[in-house]
Amino acid sequence: MNYQYILFDLDGTLTDPKVGITKSVAYALEKLNIEIVDYSKLDFFIGPPLQESFQAYYDLTEQQVNEAIGYYRERFQQHGLYENEVYPGIETLLETLKKKEKTLAVATSKPTIFAEKILQHFKLDQYFEVIVGSNLNGTRIAKADVIHEVLLQLSSPDKSEVIMIGDRKHDLIGAKKEGIANIGVLYGSVVKRNWH
């Protein structure tokens, strides 16, 4: 199938954010006096919404989740944003797709403002027509909602011409809910078993 509209997830797909995310999660948990017994669990914060991960892995109350996200962002916006690197070959891929006149977009669970800063930092923003993420107030965190907003901003293209590329089950589920095709990547810091 020759897709015209190609949506990319950010974390774990375009860039490897492991250091910045895991250090910021550790900072947040330490602020809440929560002992980190298994540091490998912190890798699971790459990709899904923070609210979901803090709840799932540390059984925090709603108030604690909000506090944890506040602490996370406190460190992330100062340091974590840039403790990140573009996966090898990504820029070449984006250049090639643009030369073929494909319409590219980013659909991420990360807040839009952070996604924009990261893409600007790595000079990747030039390749994308649309960059959409979650809102800082905790809304639009489900991947299906993010994808829906991307499609709206792209003037609602024919869904048979759209594909989502990501590294987590959230990308697959969101794409299916929105009725678009999807591809799962298996490289980088996110373990393969998370793509089901």
pLDDT of residue 188: 56
pLDDT digits (tens, 9 = 90+) for 94-119: 999 999 999 999 999 999 999 999 99
Q: Compute the average pLDDT of residues 32-61.
A: 88
Q: Which residue has the higher pLDDT, 193 or 29?
A: 29
pLDDT of residue 3: 96
167 catalytic, yes or no?
no
Q: With a cut of 60, say whether residue 10 has pLDDT above it.
A: yes
Q: Which residues of 117-130 are buried (b: 16+ CB within 10 A; e: fewer)?
A: bbbeebebeebbeb
Q: With a cut of 80, say whether residue 192 has pLDDT above it.
A: no
Q: Which of 9, 11, 16, 145 is catalytic?
A: 9
What distance in Å separates the CA atoms of residue 40 and residue 25, rounded to the nearest whole number? 12
Q: With a cut of 70, say whether residue 4 has pLDDT above it.
A: yes
Look up residue 6 and give its two tokens.
């190609």
pLDDT digits (tens, 9 = 90+) for 137-147: 889 999 999 99
pLDDT of residue 194: 42
Report the Cα 51 to chain-centroid distance in Å.
14
